[in-house]
Each structure stands twice: as C-alpha cells, then as structure tokens.
Amino acid sequence: MASDFDEFAARLTAADPEEVQVAGPSLEQRNQRASVIVVQTASTENRTDSVESEVINEVHTDQDSRQSSAESNGPLSPILITSRRRRARDEENEEEETEDAGPPSRKAKSDAEGGFLLEKKDKSIVEDEEDGQVCPVCFDVWSNSGSHRVVSLKCGHLFGQACIERWVHSGGKGARCPQCNESAQKKDIRPIYVRNLKAIDTTERDRALAALEHEKENRRRLELEYHKLQIQMTAKEQDILRLQHELQQCRAALSGACLAASGQGAELPLAGAGPLFGSQPPGILGRRLVLDSTLELCKEGQCRVMSYSEHLTLLVVSYAGTNSHLTGTGVKKVNALGGFRTVGYIAVHRKPIRDMAFHLEQNDLLLTVSLDKTAKLVNVHSDIAVTSYSCDAPLWSCAWNADNKYQFFVGTGTGKVLLYDTRKPGDAVDCWSEPNSMSPVTGLAYLPFSPVTTFPRGGLFVQRLQSCVFHESRTDGFVAHPLPLDGSFTSLCVEPETRHFLASSRPNNAHPQARHTVCAPSWTVLGSDSSNGICSSHAITTIQAGTQQKLLSRSCLLTAPGSTEGKQLIVAAHQEAAQCISLWDVNSSAVLQKLPCSDPVLDLLPIRVNGVHFVAALSEKNARFYKWT
C-alpha cells in the first residue's frame, strides 16, 4: 500500500496540471462513502475511538472504490487520494482538540445518553442550592432569626421576612407572590424551618445588637440625670453661698450688739479732731491694737508659718512635734471662734513646712509645701492628706490660682516655679525659672483678673532672694515681666482690695536698713490691641526699718478697719533690734503704733472673726492675737 502511494505521488509530481484528469467515483458513491464516515457514539468513552474507526473505514472504502474504479475507469486520481487523506487528518485533529478541551465541551454536544443530560442535572442542583440561600426579592442571604429570617407565603415560596412584608404592604389588597403571582396577604406570611435550608446564624449578633441598644438607652438616661443633678447642684451651691453670707452678717450683727451692751462698741466712730500721729498715737481712725490673748503652741520652738480660713474661723500653724504623741511635721488647728484654742493636730510631712494656703472655694482644703520635696493637699475636717505631689527640690512657697480653682503654684529652693493641676495628678503641667538664677523662691502671691480696676491683668508675683517678677496670665500661658525692685527679699504680700503689694527686704551692703516697699502695679498698652502690653510697678512708699534682721520673717500689708473711702493701707512688720511689732502708715510712712514683743516674730497675718478684726503674730513657741479696739 505504501508503494502505491509513492507511485501516485511520483506520477502527480511529474504530470502536467493541464493534462491531469480527475477520475473517481460518481456523486452517489461519494455520498455513500461520506455516510459511512459518520460515526455515532453511544457513550462518552466510545467517542475517543471515532477518529481511528473513521480512518479505517475510509481506507477500506478507498480500497473498494479503487478496485471498482480500476476495473471500469482505470486507476484512481492521486488528487482524490490526497484530498481524502487530508480530510481524514483534519478530522483527527479536530477530535484531538475536542478531547483536550475537557469533559464540559463534549457534554455540550447533543447526545441522547451522554453528558448533556448530566450537565442539566448539575445546573438544576446548583440553582436549587442557590434558591435555598438567597431571598428572591433582594437576592441577599437570609438568616434563621432577626428581621430577615426565612418565611413563606401560602403558595410555598420562600422570602426574607422584611422583604416580603414590604412587598405585600406596597401591593395593598391586590398584592401577589413575586414568583407565582398568586394572591398574597400579610396574614399569609409565616416562619418556616427547612431541613436543608442554608441560613446565617445571627442569633449572637442580634443579641449583641439588642444589648448595645439597651446600653445606649441607659447611657442617654444617665446623662440626662447627670445634667439634671448638675443643675440642682449649682442651685444648691448658690443657696449655700447666700446662706453663708447671711450667716456672716447675722454673726457680725450679734457680735456688735454684744459689744455695744458691754460698753465697748463694735465700731468706734471716726475721731473728729486731734493729732493722728504722735509719740503715743491714739490709733488709726480712732482705733488701736491691743493684746487680746496669747496661745502656747510648742515648748520646743518649732512653729514657722500660718494660714487662716475665715469661712471655717480656723487658723492653722505649722508645727514640728518631738514628743511621744506628736511626731513628724504637721499643722496645729486653732479655733478662733469663742476664743483662740487648739483643737487638733495633723501630721503631714517629714520635714519642716515652709508655706501653707487654704483653697479659695473649697474651704476645707489646705495646700502645704515642705523641705521634704513634697506638696500635699490636706482635708482639715478629716485630718487626712488627700493628694501628694513630689518635686525634685525642697519647696519654699505656694499659692492658689485665683482665676482657675484647679491650679496651684509652688516655688522651689532652686528658683523654679511649678504649676500643678488637681485634675491631673502627677507631674507639673508647667515650669519656669529665671536664667542664671538658683536662688530660692521666697514668696508667691496671685493677683486675680479684674477688668474694672486700673490694673486689670491677672497673674502671679514671684519673689526670689534677688528679684521680683510678675507672670501675666494669658490664654496661651504666662508672660514674665521683671519688676524694678532691689533685694535681698524676705517676704511678699498682696492686698487684694487695693491690688497693691508689699515687698520686704533685709539689710545688705547697698542698703544698711531693712526696707518695706509698697508698690502699685501698672499696665502699659502697646499699639491698638488692649490685651497686649507691658506690666510694671511704681513704688508708693519705701519704709526704712531697723538695721538688723537675721530671720526671714514675714511682714503684712493690711487695710485699716472702718476705712471705707480711700482705704488706708498699713504695713506691719517685726523689728528685731527694737523687739517690737511696728505699724506704719503707707501714705505718710510714719509709725502709727509699736507693740512690744520679746520673741522674734516669724509671721504676721490679719484675720477677722465674726466681723471683729485681729492681727496674729507667730513666734517659734507662741501665737499672740492683737485686737482692734
């Protein structure tokens, strides 16, 4: 057979194309041969042998046709044989491509028993599975609980509950099933449970959402109650302040009535004539200080500073206990109502206390600073230290911020000023110091903001041994303004009504005498902006005192009792060489009165008890109380 093919190919190559005669079977024979070529498989497995069978049939058919043609018409045309071979090869390639494409391509062909019917079955299964997972209305998966749980109509079709309820509601009385168009009403909606239903379990999620909504509702209710309680508390605080003011007025009236009945008089009239000053002056506006009582505080001599709360009529004195029942350093409480007497002791620090200050609004809260590098807030009612603040250096002075009730200042022995906030326990929120200065901060005093005065600015006076600076309070912090004063400074005192301040200094090489300088702060506006300016001060008077002062004793600036118009300012200070407490008039710098005092006075403090004015003088062991008469 191979030799026949080679012979035909040689004849075809050598033949002239115009002389080639195409001879072959008739049209009927070719159709008969084509019908024999078609192979119909009964299954998918039999189709893989179709090409081989077709080629074999083709070869046998060609051999029979060639023999018949050879008997009648002569030999077959090589073109016919070549075309048949080419057709068989093309069909074989086509079947190989079909086989490489995979089973789905073969299944796509029509076959009564093959894979086409199986493919239809698979698609129906997938559709059934998808139909059991999603809602036909929104095409979203349903759940077995919540608003989108699976329900059915009376026709049996499944939907998400929220979707079919909305569908039926929008259709009204003429609502129908979205799938079969059968009449449907809201009463026909019923939850169902299917064995093969694939639903998302949202029970825990729905329970969590319900709990979240419940908590939100509780929070809204509690916030409303909180705001109501805040309003009630504000109203109660206002009532308390009003009642306290009325109580003070009643106490003053009662005290005045008692003094008038005894023949002394609560307020003596202004002296109409006579010299105001002299060797033995009649007093200030017809009044003078007399010793009312002396209270022994410490036999060992460990007292240092004082602080007074007029609201509580309570005087506290720093004290260092050394006996068996008073150990450590703390404060002694002295009740000023009904006579000065000791009522208690609070142990606070491990080393001596250098300064104390009562809170401006929360009257039972006392701020103390000590050389043990701590500042503490003490409740004088419960005798407990509420909060403690640690610093990196011994503390010398303290003051509350009169413009912010949550803030206070402390001055260190290394020249730093620390700002603390009671709402933020821990470290200081701000700190500032003077360049090239490590001298201790001997005094702090805060002047509140007052827009109706000649000096409206609020801020902190900071006094070190060799300098005095006013730190102006602004919205973005504090701005330092150095004041033109000379040291060495020992104490600082601010008179809040006149807004004047007193800076006391002890003798030095430039000034052989102790000086008490009363100053008025000034404010100079820069440009058109009234909030931008320079703070300074000018001295009203400078009082020359004694030539000896070894102790850092505190002086005070006070107003004369009974002076209503043009407050008369008085300077009270201890003179070590003269062993007395001297009172000077600020306007004339003249000595008004001298109070003999053998013990060195460390602190002077004006106090008022039920409308009666006193001056308390503290020494290391005793406290003397001088009363205005």
pLDDT 10s digits, 67-83: 444 444 444 444 444 45
SS3 278: coil
What contacts 298, CB < 8 A, 6 or more positions away? 319, 320, 620, 621
Q: How confident is the model at residue 373 (pLDDT cuts 50, 70, 90)?
A: very high
- Taking phi over 0 as left and psi of -120 to 50 as alpha, with beta for the rest, 541 belongs to beta
Paired strand residues for 495: 500
Is a pLDDT exceeding 50 seen at residue 93?
yes
Q: How confident is the model at residue 274 (pLDDT cuts 50, 70, 90)?
A: very low
More confident residue, 517 or 252: 517
Q: How confident is the model at residue 88 (pLDDT cuts 50, 70, 90)?
A: low
pLDDT tens string 175-205: 999 989 898 988 889 887 755 555 567 788 8
pLDDT recorded at residue 273: 31
Q: How confident is the model at residue 117 (pLDDT cuts 50, 70, 90)?
A: very low
d(CA 99, CA 386): 90
Average pLDDT over residues 314-325: 74
pLDDT recorded at residue 12: 54
Q: Looking at 3-12, 340-349, 494-503, which range is the least confident one? A: 3-12
More confident residue, 123 or 167: 167
d(CA 307, CA 554): 12
pLDDT recorded at residue 305: 94
pLDDT tens string 581-609: 999 999 888 899 999 988 899 999 999 99
Q: How confident is the model at residue 464 (pLDDT cuts 50, 70, 90)?
A: very high
d(CA 257, CA 371): 46
Q: Looking at 6-15, 84-93, 104-113, 321-330, which range is the least confident one? A: 104-113
The closest alpha carbon to 133, from 148, 123, 121, 118, belongs to: 148
pLDDT tens string 557-589: 998 887 655 578 999 999 988 889 999 999 888
Q: How confident is the model at residue 450 (pLDDT cuts 50, 70, 90)?
A: confident
Over the chain, what is the mean pLDDT? 77
Q: Read out DSSP for 25-71?
A: --HHHHHHHHHHH----SSTTGGGGHHHHHHHHHHHHHHHHHHHHHH
Which range has the top average pLDDT, 61-75, 251-265, 297-311, 354-368? Answer: 354-368
pLDDT recorded at residue 302: 81
More confident residue, 119 or 464: 464
Which range has the top average pLDDT, 98-102, 256-260, 423-427, 441-445? Answer: 441-445
Is a pLDDT exceeding 60 seen at residue 206?
yes
Q: In what order do the strands lie in the sheet with 533-544?
A: 489-495, 500-505, 515-525, 533-544
For the record, the structure tokens of 256 come out as: 């005045």
Average pLDDT over residues 523-533: 79
- Residue recorded with tokens 């319900």: 210
Is 441 in contact with 469 (CB distance < 8 Å)?
A: no
Burial class of 626 by CB neighbour count within 10 A (0 to 12, 13 to 18, 19+): buried
